[in-house]
Structure 1
Amino acid sequence: MSEAQGRPRFLTVNEVADLMRVSRMTVYRLVHSGELPAVRVGRSFRVPQDALDAYLRSSTTVEPTGGERRSS
């Protein structure tokens, strides 16, 4: 868990957008599509820090080694 007390840390949509360097709308799309788990609190969403970490780990791409770029 993210917290020392065993409680998960929840992030707002704005905080997730800032961390990912994307727009809030992108975060909302990820939440609504089910790609990024979230909890609805009233009219807003909270994303567990662990869920964001897992999403980012699963979305990581590996670039070719040696600084080479592939051309299309």
Structure 2
Amino acid sequence: MQVKDLTTEELKALIRETVMETLEELLDDPDEGKEVRPEIKQQLLESLQRTRSGERGIPAEDVAKRLGLTW
């Protein structure tokens, strides 16, 4: 069957299905099912605690500057 032979509703359904498949591919988590190493988990917990206590991280502008990016 060719696209020209589809009804408007069939074409819409085909487009909807294609968009959904594309979104699923783009939003798929490549790390799903993997475990976080204990040292990384500890670093994340420490970072979260620092944030909760009011400590601020490195401003994005500084990071961009360090990487030679225009912000």
* TM-score (norm: length of structure 1): 0.30
* TM-score (norm: length of structure 2): 0.30
Structure number with higher strand proportion: 1
Structure number with higher helix proportion: 2
